[in-house]
Amino acid sequence: MQNQSQHHALIQSLPKAELHVHIEGTFEPELMFEIAQRNHVDIPYASVDDLKKAYDFHNLQSFLDIYYAGANVLLHEQDFYDLTYAYFEKCKADNVVHTEIFFDPQTHTDRGVAFATVINGIERACQDAKKNLGISSYLIMCFLRHLSEEAAFETLAQAKPYKDKIIAVGLDSSEVGHPPSKFERVFKEAKTQGYLIVAHAGEEGPPEYIWEALDLLQVNRIDHGVRCEEDEQLMARLIAEKMPLTVCPLSNLKLCVVDDMQQHNIKRLLDQGVNVTVNSDDPAYFGGYMNDNFYAISDALDLSSQDIRQLASNSFQASFLPEAEKAQWMEKVVKS
- Phi, psi angle pair for 101, to nearest 5°: -95, 130
> Which lies closer to ligand HPA via its Cβ, residue 171 or residue 330?
171
User: Among residues 201, 197, 147, 150, which one has the least CA distance to residue 179?
Assistant: 201
254 touches which of ligand HPA, Zn ion, none (CB within 5 to 8 A by kind)?
none
DSSP, res 15: -
Q: How far apart are CA 209 and CA 253, in angstroms?
A: 21
Contact call for residue 60 and ligand HPA (CB under 6 A): yes
In sequence order, which ranges of 94-170 are alpha helices (DSSP H)?
A: 105-109, 115-133, 149-159
Residue 60's binding partner among Zn ion, ligand HPA, none (Cβ under 5 to 8 angstroms by kind) is: ligand HPA
Is 282 annotated among the ligand-binding residues?
yes
175 binds Zn ion (CB under 5 A): no
Distance CA 305, CA 300 (A): 14
In the range 99-128, which residues lie near ligand HPA by CB under 6 A? none
Q: Does position 203 bind ligand HPA by CB under 6 A?
A: yes
Total residues found in the chain within this entry? 336
CA-to-CA distance for 198 and 185, rounded, in angstroms? 15
b/e sequence 127-156, b meaning 16+ C-beta within 10 Å:
eebeeeeebbbbbbbbbbbbbeeebbbbbb
Applying the rule CB under 6 A, the residues between 299 and 328 that interact with ligand HPA are none
Binding pattern for the stretch 137-176 against ligand HPA, x by CB under 6 A and - elsewhere: -----------------------------------xx---
281 contributes a contact to Zn ion by CB under 5 A: yes
**200 annotated ligand-binding residue:** yes
Q: Total residues contacting ligand HPA (rule CB under 6 A)? A: 11
- 232 catalytic per annotation: no
Which residues lie near ligand HPA (CB under 6 A)?
Answer: 22, 25, 60, 67, 172-173, 200, 203, 251, 281-282
Which residues lie near Zn ion (CB under 5 A)?
Answer: 281
